[in-house]
Structure 1
Amino acid sequence: MSYVEPKSENNMKLLLNTLTWKRNAIITLILLFSLIILNFYGLYTDKFNFLKPGNYVFPVLSLVHCLYLYVIWFKITEDELPDPKMRNLEYILYAIMIVYFFKIYDTASILSSASQYQEHIIPASFKPIGGFTLILYCLLPLFTLVSFWQRKDHIGQYNFENYNDNLNIWQ
């Protein structure tokens, strides 16, 4: 009797084979860069606002995400084991994911509030740019989760119980 893998595992392997870690990192960086630019754009005003301090929260948090992608890239290309600093960076990224979900909620609530302001002039770009921004914000957590799976697959589990025993300083 042969073992048949469940269909969900086959789908996950197909996704991870199609979306390699390099492609995922590049797509995530493009998403982050695009969302940083769109973060300064005001949907109601149809202008970029660089003076609002709240607009700088997402770009600063994106730096942590970029650092995590760099660490994954480095660990995979250099064939290194995971370390506690990488684990801590990933845990910080888990917390940042909450901000990503808040941005999805915030953008969706802004888009759904268009009917409340029908007597005001809403720019023609409101729905297209708002919808595009919402799609990008929804894609970002998905690609982030894929990067977590790829880290686990390519770099390994976080197992520091016998970390010092596995180090070979003479290699």
Structure 2
Amino acid sequence: MKYVSKILPWKTNILITLVILLALNILNFYGVYTNRFYFLKPDNYIFPLLSTVHFLYLYVIWFKIKEDELPDPKMRNIEYALYAIMVVYIFKIYDSVLTLTSFPELVGHVIPPTFKPMALLMLVLYSLLPIFTISLFWYRRNYVGHYNFEDYNNNLNIWQ
């Protein structure tokens, strides 16, 4: 994993993750079966709401690496929330696989020609998101530091 930082620097990883999240937030409203966008379905707003935590984590990790700061409890809480959101990302991968594999069952129905390319694009983006997120955790551990608050609080001297 140490050669990954030479191939994919942390800034590039954050920017790619940002682009993936923005694309998935837009594509989350897209219906692959109908080739339309659905903005009035409440289910379509779950992923964009959860991705705000991811956007916040991207900002925090960018700031911490740029300013060479130590991790703090707020950053830890955001990262732990992102661990839980990773379950939603895994579910979206599963849902995308089910959507893509449902194509042979729909032979007698009118399916838009964009079904396969869009479903495949969404599957690839949803699959890349956990990979880049896990690598962000690795970058946080290597560039910002571990969450060792007992030692951090013992060495903190507010008079200096």
Structure 1: 5+ residue stretches without partners:
1-11
2:75 maps to 1:86: yes
Q: Secondary structure at the match of 2:112?
A: coil
Q: Secondary structure at the match of 1:120?
A: coil
2:17 maps to 1:28: yes
- Calculate the TM-score normalised by the size of structure 2: 0.97
Query: RMSD across aligned C-alpha pairs, in angstroms?
Result: 1.0
Flag as ranges the 4+ runs of structure 1 deviating above 3 A: none
2:106 maps to 1:117: yes
For 1:107, the equivalent position in structure 2 comes to: 96
How many Å apart are 1:83 and its aligned residue?
0.8
1:131-170 to structure 2, matched below 5 A, reads: 131-170=120-159
How many Å apart are 1:168 and its aligned residue?
3.4
Aligned residues: 160
Of 19, 32, 39, the match for 2:8: 19
Greater Rg, structure 1 or structure 2?
1
Of all paired residues, the percent bearing the same amino acid is 62
Structure 2: 5+ residue stretches without partners:
none
C-alpha separation in 2, matches of 1:24 and 1:110: 28
C-alpha separation in 1, matches of 2:8 and 2:159: 36
Deviates more, 1:13-22 or 1:133-142: 13-22
Residues 55-78 of structure 1: CA distance to partner in whole angstroms, max 9, x if unpaired?
Answer: 000001111000001010111111
